[in-house]
Homo-oligomer: A and B are copies of this chain.
Amino acid sequence: MEDHLGYQLRRASNLVMATLADQLGEIGLTVVETSILILISRNAGIFQSEIGRVLGIKRANVAPLVSALERRDLVSRTSPEGRAVGLTTTQAGYDLSVRAEMIMRENDDRLFSATPQGACEAIRSALDDLWRSRVEKPARED
Q: A104: which B residues are within 8 A, CB to CB? A: 4, 6-7
Q: A12: which B residues are within 8 A, CB to CB? A: 9, 13, 127, 130-131
How many copies of the shown chain assemble into the complex? 2
For the complex, is A125 an interface residue (Cβ under 8 Å from B)?
A: yes
For the complex, is A44 an interface residue (Cβ under 8 Å from B)?
A: no
- B1 & A131 in contact (Cβ 8 Å cutoff): no
Given contacts A1-B38, A1-B39, A15-B134, whether A8 and B128 have CB atoms under 8 Å apart is yes
- B7 & A35 in contact (Cβ 8 Å cutoff): yes
Closest 9 CB pairs of A and B: A13-B13, A12-B127, A122-B122, A119-B122, A115-B126, A8-B127, A6-B16, A5-B108, A4-B104
15 example contacts (A-B, Cβ-Cβ < 8 A) are as follows: A4-B105, A6-B17, A8-B128, A8-B131, A9-B12, A9-B123, A11-B56, A11-B127, A12-B13, A13-B13, A15-B131, A15-B134, A115-B130, A119-B125, A122-B122
